[in-house]
Structure 1
Amino acid sequence: MVFFCATMACLSGMIRYLSDEIPALEMVFFRNFFGLVFILPFVLSAGVATLKSKRLKMHGLRAIFGTAAMSCWFIGLTLLPLSEATALSFTVPLFTTLGAVLVLGEVVRIHRWAALVIGFFGALIIIRPGIEEIEVGALVVLASSFFIACALLTVKSLSRTDHPTAIVFYMGLFMTPLSLFGAVPVWVWPEPEHYPWLIAMGVFAASGQMGMTRAMKAADASVSMPFSFTNMVFASIIGYVFFAETVDLWTWVGACVIFLSTMYIVRREAKLNKKAKELALGA
């Protein structure tokens, strides 16, 4: 999980570095294209049989949500300090829980509802509406969190029937052409010195996702989740060293409030799932 957070922070730094030269939507395309190229050997080694799926429409829906999320995230990183964007990205589990209630009909008790409210209050601490002018970048990053949550809900459904390799492969296969539609209107041919960075974006993104998958497989989410806060630390260091960004106190406070509320939700869900399994075994 720490490896995943480090690679994601580095990826965010690359996006910020290239943002003055290459439009955000074009970077989304290159990230998907080179990410797909990078994972192909792993897909082939797993075997073509793992790619069989009867739910290509659901894979397509997941790609639409993923492209929207990535586009908003890349744009948000050009408008906000890395640390602030990262802090707001911690709202993803909040949107995921809310979506599970509204879309999947999952039952959420008062404790998790309270954690949701507190978590979104943490986002308000960072944005501080009424005290400071609401930045468009903050709203764009929150939109990214919403679309990521939608994508995660589709993955949750796909994981019941499809192999993880198929989910990763079809994500790249569908998101690459989808992101090209957004890139074409703003296309600027990269200079030769830009390509190593664009390739690195795809490699870092794909390897980071693989690292997260291994982390979630090796340990329960309630165990690996606490380490995700290192993303905030890495992003703050990169922002300070390379872009002279400083993190104000309220961003740290808001990030901690959001993170602690999501931690409570994750641990609560893990506890309930464990109890449900014990009851099932007892029956």
Structure 2
Amino acid sequence: MSARPAVPSRTRTLEGVLWMLASGVSFVGVTGIVRYLGTDIPAAQGAFLRFAFGALFLLPTLVPVLRQGVPMSTLKLYGLRGAFHTAAVICWFYAMARIPVAEVTAIGYLNPVLVTVGAALFFSERLALRRILAVAVALVGALIVLRPGLRELSAGHLSQLCAATLFAGSYLLARRLSDVAGAGAIVAMMSATVTLGLLPFALLVWVPVGVDQLLWLALVAVFATAGHYCMTRAFGAAPLTVTQPVTFLQLLWATLLGALAFGERVDPFVLLGGGIIISAISYITWRESVLKRRASAVALENT
């Protein structure tokens, strides 16, 4: 008689949902603060200060990595990922200061869809018909959010599209790095390379900043770190098929934040398009989970 894969308890599932909710609230906090700071601080400078604070928080994990040394074979991958992530955060900071919070959030949902496409193109992962259709549905959702031809697309919209694409490239490189390096080293090196990568761009546009602005950007780093931590805990507590749909609530929080804090109009097309994108992502996640369970069951039966 073959053993069956363990099924998470209801308590663990609820824990995963709560961690993912906390992650979503944390990331909305990031977007809200950057939106509040607006265009007073150039995008490159704001991004640099946020990552500089983040690097300080991650210093306890970065120092051991540097002491152990970084294999020469991985330096190119670390550098390339740092370049992708550097460009992505500049684009994100630029977009966040110029378009509604909900639109930034909805367009950002394209990231896992682009990762799926990139994995097929660069890692030769099989892209079955169902996944192709799910990607197509997600792109329809993006078109509903953006509505090109029906309204003018600003530089902020284009910048956020670039950010989603560049973040996808960064995550694909992280996937490749995961084959040769530990998670702690990957996170620490990303923080270091992005901080260094942002520095020259920040210096080119540097403007004086007040203590209050520095404190806000430090809080951005706190929220971002907390968001990633909570997301990691969520993934460890419950399956992606449970936690992934919860990310849609992040769009609702962002919409409420934009309406209540910044007087932004609630756009039903943004909610509809974001919902369609998340539905497509959730389907892809569910399908991959089913395939993994089947593969595990076959492996157990053959042992």
Indicate the TM-score class for this superposition, using the shorter chain for normalisation. Answer: over 0.9
Give the CA deviation at 1:229.
1.2
Does the alignment pair 1:8 with 2:27? Answer: yes
Tell me the alpha carbon deviations over residues 6-32 of structure 1, each in whole angstroms, 9 at most, x when there is no partner.
111111111111123211111100111
Give the CA deviation at 1:116.
0.5
* Paired letter, 2:151: E
* Paired letter, 1:247: V
Match of 1:123 in 2: 142
Match of 1:244 in 2: 263
Q: Contact 1:10–1:238 (CA<8 Å) still a contact in 2?
A: no
Does the alignment pair 1:36 with 2:92? Answer: no
Pair 222,241 (structure 1): closer, same or farther in 2 beyond 3 Å: same
Identity %: 34
| TM-score between the two structures when normalised by the length of structure 2 | 0.87
Give the count of matched residue pairs: 281
Give the CA deviation at 1:50.
9.6
Q: Contact 2:65–2:185 (CA<8 Å) still a contact in 1?
A: no
Which of 165, 179, 193 matches 2:184?
165
Give the CA deviation at 1:270.
1.6
Q: Contact 1:68–1:144 (CA<8 Å) still a contact in 2?
A: yes
* Paired letter, 2:166: F
Which of 247, 255, 261 matches 2:274?
255
Tell me, in whole angstroms, the C-alpha distance in 2 between the residues paired with 1:172 and 1:250. Answer: 35
Match of 1:216 in 2: 235
Which of 97, 118, 129 matches 1:99?
118
Match of 1:199 in 2: 218
More displaced stretch, 164-173 vs 136-145:
136-145
Tell me the alpha carbon deviations over residues 20-79 of structure 1, each in whole angstroms, 9 at most, x when there is no partner.
3211111100111000101223556xx559965422221222211111111111111122
* Paired letter, 2:160: V
Q: Contact 2:62–2:188 (CA<8 Å) still a contact in 1?
A: yes
Give the CA deviation at 1:179.
0.8
Pair 64,282 (structure 1): closer, same or farther in 2 beyond 3 Å: farther
Tell me, in whole angstroms, the C-alpha distance in 2 between the residues paired with 1:132 and 1:3. Answer: 34
More displaced stretch, 229-238 vs 164-173:
229-238
Tell me, in whole angstroms, the C-alpha distance in 2 between the residues paired with 1:84 and 1:220. Answer: 27
* Paired letter, 2:220: M
Tell me, in whole angstroms, the C-alpha distance in 1 between the residues paired with 2:238 and 2:296. Answer: 17
* Paired letter, 1:29: F
Q: Contact 2:30–2:224 (CA<8 Å) still a contact in 1?
A: yes
Q: Contact 2:65–2:188 (CA<8 Å) still a contact in 1?
A: no
Q: Contact 2:85–2:166 (CA<8 Å) still a contact in 1?
A: yes
Tell me, in whole angstroms, the C-alpha distance in 1 between the residues paired with 2:228 and 2:68. Answer: 18
Give the CA deviation at 1:215.
1.7
Pair 15,218 (structure 1): closer, same or farther in 2 beyond 3 Å: same
DSSP-derived class of the 2:58 partner: helix
* Paired letter, 2:56: V
Asked which structure has the greater CA Rg, the reply is: 2
* Paired letter, 1:197: W
Q: Any gaps of 5 or more consecutive residues in structure 1?
A: none
Q: Contact 2:48–2:199 (CA<8 Å) still a contact in 1?
A: yes
Tell me the alpha carbon deviations over residues 102-130 of structure 1, each in whole angstroms, 9 at most, x when there is no partner.
11011111111011001001100111112
Q: Contact 1:39–1:206 (CA<8 Å) still a contact in 2?
A: no
Match of 2:104 in 1: 85
Give the CA deviation at 1:190.
0.4
Tell me the alpha carbon deviations over residues 124-144 of structure 1, each in whole angstroms, 9 at most, x when there is no partner.
011111211222222211111
